[in-house]
Amino acid sequence: MKKIAWIGTGVMGSPMATHLADAGYDVSAYNRTHAKAKALEPKVKAYETIREVVEGADIIFTIVGYPKDVEEVSLEIMEHAKKGAIIVDMTTSSPSLAAKLYTIGSDKGYRVMDAPVTGGDLGAINATLSIMVGGDKEVYEEVLPLFEKMGKTINYMGKAGNGQHAKLANQTAIAGAIAGAAESLAYADKHGLDLETMLAVISGGSASSWQAVNNGPKMINKDYAPGFFIKHFLKDLNLVIEEKHELYLPIVEKVASIYDILVKNGYEDYGTQAVIDYYTKKLD
């Protein structure tokens, strides 16, 4: 049985690491806030440094905050992990950085993959995530049994960086869906419609989306607990804009500007469904 190191035990990482431990893998974890990794014991052994957690590991998973964190953590891993280890970054990060780390890792004797996920905290908890993977096909096939313990929809997208491109394309679709659900409910509320009934109309017809079904009720109830942080969604949308090149992406650009306003109004640690306040409170 392969020895697994897991770096990043936040809202997503904690259940994902636990699923691997429940499947019988030897899993160790590190988190910058040690208490978050410690909370996974006894299923997962917590360590206080990256050096300790990656020692002897066959496969190292990371799911951290921002591209700068991905680069910093990945380079530190490569200072201490055994040669031949597989390093799988599951953070939503920069495709260009993923390709860069793949090259650096290959030169140092590591096998590097980018494998961002979508499905939110519920997908992580229920092991129903969608996972998009970039890197060498043979390495993907070696790691696939572990991906299958964390998700239901696993797709190999091609070369290094393509997993990240796939995730950013996914976030592009979410941008329109979540803003559309929020605008619809704001419109219905403005005209005195019962919002629960309106949401049933949306969810039961051609306007339905995962965002409407899962985040619509939270919007109505003003439940802004984070399944996915606003600050992280804004990071993702900004990555799309950075990578769009000559593409015209007006929806992404508009929704990014909305989430930027939310962050400036102190919403950064709220769930993405709090976008409804942009409309109902007329934030600027």
Hunting for tokens 């409804």 — which residue is that? 276
Give just the sign of the alpha carbon dihedral 275, 267, 126, 25.
positive
Element (H or E) spanning 237, and its range?
helix 230-243
Please check whether residue 234 is in contact with residue 248, taking contact to mean a CB–CB distance below 8 angstroms. Answer: no
Other beta carbons less than 10 A from residue 111's beta carbon: 19
Phi then psi dihedrals of residue 190, to 5 deg: -60, -30
Q: What is the largest CA-CA distance in the chain?
A: 63
Hunting for tokens 């995730």 — which residue is that? 167
What are 140's two structure tokens?
């993907």
CA 226 to chain CA centroid, nearest Å: 13
User: Which residues neighbour 278 within 8 Å (Cβ) at sequence distance 6 or greater?
Assistant: 182, 258, 261, 262
Give just the sign of the alpha carbon dihedral 108, 52, 17, 239.
negative
Write the DSSP symbol of residue 56.
Answer: T
Write the DSSP symbol of residue 48.
Answer: S
Spatial distance between the Cα atoms of 11 and 29, rounded to a whole number of angstroms = 14
Looking at the annotation, which residues are catalytic? 167
